[in-house]
Structure 1
């Protein structure tokens, strides 16, 4: 397939459930074969633009389109198959139950000959470093492995336009470079056009021709070669939330003494059907921050969910202290969900898995009602969280119309609303711009200073630096490959 061109003339899109457009007044063009890094603060409309280019935004029932958007001179809805899109949520990219079938799906729909499909499947899996059997269940893959799987499916399609939405956000550092290089090899071989959204820009700057920055208020804030854009607009872009090289972000930490032990794992064996790693010993105390790192597939998320008593342990013990249990059984696995919510709060790797309300405000009230918080205090607590996490302007929006970064902040807010003593976070800074990252990490640091025990799973080196090494009660737990 030949490289595709892009042209936007005053283009915009408003989701049906929203009063304000997600994107407005957008005008720019991309020539065939260009490689573009798309930047902008969280909520600027980057993911909406990619969905529009892929032709998957929907029709008039789903939203209102303005202006024009074209791929190869035609509306994207009429050129499906030209573009290959990797979504922000790794699980949303997974279609079929077996790895090989999932990678083959796009190529099959493009009517690639059968023998060639399976050659492409194996080549794509090798290119992204996903060394698993073709019969492996996709449900058994970690979030990072699912990202590699999604990218492999796009590589096997060999589209004329490659659209990547935070493709390396859940990958370990080695995987980030591996996946980027796999994309570059495909582009070199096919000449395809690339538009990639990535908050952390350093990875992609060496391989893109141009940077386009979206303005949250509408239109394009900056457009041109990366060096020129950052030299001219760097300070302003960093101020509005863009991750600009050479503009480090810092978070103030308060030194506090560790308090009572709240939760202890001894010889804990974790897994869904079978153990995924050797037994783990881990204790969480009030006023401490523990950061869990390790390569994709090491069992980090499985360990976090087991510590939160959302997955049953396969062996060993998990015991809550009397301080945390508050008269309940020391085994958190025996607690009712309402008791668990006020003691151990969990933010999943996929934020939409814990969103059930019709509006952002309603979402925050669900947990409060479930744990019996008096209705008189609901509004004040909800308003404070909305303002703290920059979601107040979205209070009446449907949660599923939010950007990935906004959904992540909402998922954190829903957990914090019930005031748990232990907070478990899986990739908490996924999808955040520079400004919201700082606010979110500051909030996490304040939780620790106020006496909570924090357990964070992350590949974000800045989270490791701020929450794993800044004070005497911080620590980093590195898991080896399973």
Structure 2
């Protein structure tokens, strides 16, 4: 049906609803009963794996049919099956890559409006307004393939705002955004809600961003049902400590003390390192004018004004920070040996190289396994097996380790990162936070000397976050070096990492020796 004017705020009714994926024995959600009135603004909380993303996908009508899973009870939007309420709901997915459809920014934002039958003359003003609202200041013809993860999140939100749905569903919309981007997205959502009056449900582990924008907080229980429901101040007071025990992030959560580690021998060093995505080039090493994003022989180049100089030693920790699109993930891939440097020097010291070439990008996969382990920003990009257990065993098996040693390592990681109950599940059916922990565990399974992590705390509740912090701190004490690309300032503080801010020059930490 063609889109008509402003949206009508939608009503949500959930009666004893549950959903179980075909590839998992356990229910993702069960026995959930909930009412959301038109125009209400709800913050949906719960432990990692409690089913928050599944609830949003169900309300958007994108869970699939009988071949995809089994449902129980009733879930209705405006009295209809969500799959038949076309255009009523708009969902921002937890994985921004899964929501990019077209090759150019403007076309991607316009896609939803075109499918709803919005008149052409109205579409492009909406597209520009939506892009401005989320702070994605790029030409309409800019390629979506060149966007960072955080920029893709803004792109997806812009597409939803342009559609003007009656039910706006956001799944961790600020998880991969820099602090400035978080403020811009929250402001954009607030303005859209004020203008449209749409019903709003947002999933987020950190409550501070949305606390003042919502009028209700609902906490899902890990074993089903609703653990708490009410006004934000009343729910978050949590006098009995029930929410804290369940892993809900509360405003007064303390940050653990960082580990005390004395760095050991040098493992990896970079001098005047230029990095980017594109063909490697051999150039005379020299200082360049201050620019953070330019072209070298057709390749996108990200660098600090005087290039990147750094040293990683045993037990060190380095955090790559900066705005979305500054090149954090690209630098992480370069340090991980998965992209060749565009210029300058990146050299593995003798302790790390151990007989291999001194340039990590020249190493074979088997040589990388015990030297540098990388965890990508999108965990699905490195899932290989049909079960969680086999996923964790893939690396140790590639090393030719005995079966009993493989089992020992896998069982230890399943317990340490709270994945034991999911050992036989298909990795693609896990929640976003569970996939993230699995991807970290797969890198740990081969015990590399350097661990490179891209947004490792995405999707984690307070308990699983603390478990990751404890794991990383333990690795540092054992002499492993850690590099993380992150916007999580508490994580940086808790693991005791030095910060290297990209795109901001010397005052942000260029030349750091970690």
TM-score of the superposed pair, with normalisation by structure 2: 0.91
* Alignment correspondent of 2:362: 334
* Alignment correspondent of 1:476: 499
The yes-or-no answer on 1:125 pairing with 2:131 is: yes
* Alignment correspondent of 2:70: 64
In the TM superposition, residue 237 of structure 1 has moved relative to its aligned partner by 0.3
SS in 2 for 1:281: strand
* Alignment correspondent of 2:246: 240
* Alignment correspondent of 1:275: 301
The yes-or-no answer on 1:196 pairing with 2:196 is: no
* Alignment correspondent of 1:259: 264
Query: Mean alpha-carbon deviation: is it higher for 312-321 or for 368-377?
Result: 368-377
Q: Distance in 1 between matches of 2:308 and 2:401?
A: 35
2:105 pairs with one of 94, 99, 102: 99
Q: Distance in 1 between matches of 2:263 and 2:63?
A: 49
In the TM superposition, residue 80 of structure 1 has moved relative to its aligned partner by 2.7
Alignment check: 8 A CA contact 2:317 2:482 kept: yes
In the TM superposition, residue 449 of structure 1 has moved relative to its aligned partner by 0.7
2:450 pairs with one of 409, 422, 427: 422
Could you say if the C-alpha distance between residues 464 and 338 of structure 1 is closer, same or farther in structure 2, counting changes exceeding 3 Å?
A: same
Q: Distance in 2 between matches of 1:148 and 1:141?
A: 10
SS in 2 for 1:2: coil
Q: Distance in 2 between matches of 1:437 and 1:304?
A: 21
In the TM superposition, residue 333 of structure 1 has moved relative to its aligned partner by 1.3
Measured against aligned partners, the alpha-carbon deviations of 1:329-360 in whole angstroms (never above 9, x if no partner) come to 11111111111121000010101111111000
The yes-or-no answer on 1:436 pairing with 2:464 is: yes
In the TM superposition, residue 480 of structure 1 has moved relative to its aligned partner by 2.1
* Alignment correspondent of 1:302: 330
* Alignment correspondent of 1:374: 402
* Alignment correspondent of 2:350: 322
Aligned residues: 476
Alignment check: 8 A CA contact 2:126 2:162 kept: yes
The yes-or-no answer on 1:36 pairing with 2:59 is: no
1:139-158 pair list within 5 angstroms:
139-158=145-164
In the TM superposition, residue 232 of structure 1 has moved relative to its aligned partner by 4.1
Q: Distance in 1 between matches of 2:448 and 2:478?
A: 12
RMSD: 1.1
1:9 pairs with one of 12, 15, 31: 15
Q: Distance in 1 between matches of 2:352 and 2:237?
A: 51
SS in 1 for 2:270: strand
1:49 pairs with one of 55, 73, 90: 55
* Alignment correspondent of 2:436: 408
In the TM superposition, residue 300 of structure 1 has moved relative to its aligned partner by 0.8
Measured against aligned partners, the alpha-carbon deviations of 1:170-219 in whole angstroms (never above 9, x if no partner) come to 11111101101101111111111100000000010000010000001111
1:454 pairs with one of 482, 485, 489: 482
1:177-256 pair list within 5 angstroms:
177-232=183-238, 235-250=241-256, 252-256=257-261
Alignment check: 8 A CA contact 2:374 2:451 kept: yes
Alignment check: 8 A CA contact 2:258 2:493 kept: no
Alignment check: 8 A CA contact 2:92 2:157 kept: yes
Alignment check: 8 A CA contact 2:259 2:495 kept: no
Alignment check: 8 A CA contact 1:297 1:481 kept: no
2:24 pairs with one of 18, 22, 26: 18
* Alignment correspondent of 2:382: 354
* Alignment correspondent of 1:471: none
In the TM superposition, residue 389 of structure 1 has moved relative to its aligned partner by 0.2
1:27 pairs with one of 28, 33, 42: 33
Measured against aligned partners, the alpha-carbon deviations of 1:36-71 in whole angstroms (never above 9, x if no partner) come to 000000000000000000000001110000000000
Could you say if the C-alpha distance between residues 222 and 309 of structure 1 is closer, same or farther in structure 2, counting changes exceeding 3 Å?
A: same
Q: Distance in 2 between matches of 1:234 and 1:339?
A: 51
Q: Distance in 2 between matches of 1:475 and 1:374?
A: 38
* Alignment correspondent of 2:511: none
TM-score of the superposed pair, with normalisation by structure 1: 0.97
SS in 2 for 1:346: strand
* Alignment correspondent of 2:287: none
Q: Distance in 2 between matches of 1:238 and 1:20?
A: 24
Alignment check: 8 A CA contact 1:54 1:80 kept: no
Alignment check: 8 A CA contact 1:166 1:431 kept: yes
2:176 pairs with one of 170, 175, 179: 170
Q: Distance in 2 between matches of 1:242 and 1:110?
A: 37
Alignment check: 8 A CA contact 1:266 1:280 kept: yes
Q: Distance in 2 between matches of 1:63 and 1:75?
A: 16
Q: Distance in 2 between matches of 1:227 and 1:234?
A: 14
Measured against aligned partners, the alpha-carbon deviations of 1:12-49 in whole angstroms (never above 9, x if no partner) come to 00000111100000001000110000000000000000
In the TM superposition, residue 93 of structure 1 has moved relative to its aligned partner by 1.4
Could you say if the C-alpha distance between residues 389 and 18 of structure 1 is closer, same or farther in structure 2, counting changes exceeding 3 Å?
A: same
Alignment check: 8 A CA contact 1:5 1:31 kept: yes
In the TM superposition, residue 8 of structure 1 has moved relative to its aligned partner by 0.3
Q: Distance in 2 between matches of 1:440 and 1:464?
A: 12
